[in-house]
Amino acid sequence: MVFVVSDEVKPKNGGPRMIVTGYSSGMVECRWHDGFGIKREAFREEELQPGDKPQRRDTA
């Protein structure tokens, strides 16, 4: 599945809901708030699944 910047995702093995912030070196860069501050990490695309919030795609 291809994610775009601002998509909500979560790790398939469990974890927080995150926002896709970009791509770098073939990895999906994500950020989330852990209750104390902003965290960030890069994941392989196959490690992620869509978040609970439906994705909106504009078709223009």
pLDDT (tens digit, 9 = 90+) per residue, 1-53?
Answer: 789 999 999 999 999 999 999 999 889 999 999 999 999 999 999 999 998 76
Q: Specify the pLDDT at position 47.
A: 96
Q: Specify the pLDDT at position 52.
A: 77
Domain positions in the chain are 8-43
* Of 29, 37, 1, nearest in space to 18 by CA: 29
Q: What share of the chain is helix, strand, coil (3-state, %, to 5)?
A: 5, 45, 50
- Reported as a pLDDT band with limits 50, 70 and 90, residue 60 is low
Q: Specify the pLDDT at position 55.
A: 58
